[in-house]
Amino acid sequence: MGTQEYEKARMNTESNDNGMPLRMLTVREVAAVLNIHPNTVRRWEKKGLLRSYKIGPRRSIRFKQEDIVAFLHKCEMQVLVGATK
């Protein structure tokens, strides 16, 4: 899913102040938000770095947008702490 596809999907949902969709995010959408490859999202999910939810009979992976925001804040804090050492 390219940036244009993500923007189109985002426009079809309501969003909060930070512009992220309020619905559950797919692997591709999380990858677009974090600017990483979808396989990296899957790898981080398996390692427990990203909290995920399995839904439906196919056990599709979904992510809550607030979990992705929390992950970004956690990473930001680690960078800030590392920069002050």
Over the stretch 14-33, which tens digit does the pLDDT of each residue have?
566 666 557 899 999 999 99
Residue 6: the pLDDT is 46
**Two tokens, residue 24:** 């559950």
Higher pLDDT, 80 or 65: 65
Q: How far apart are CA 43 and CA 49, in angstroms?
A: 9
Residue 10: the pLDDT is 47
Residue 16: the pLDDT is 63
In the chain, domain spans: 3-84
Residue 41: the pLDDT is 97
58-78 average pLDDT score: 92
Q: How far apart are CA 31 and CA 37, in angstroms?
A: 6
CATH class of 3-84: mainly alpha
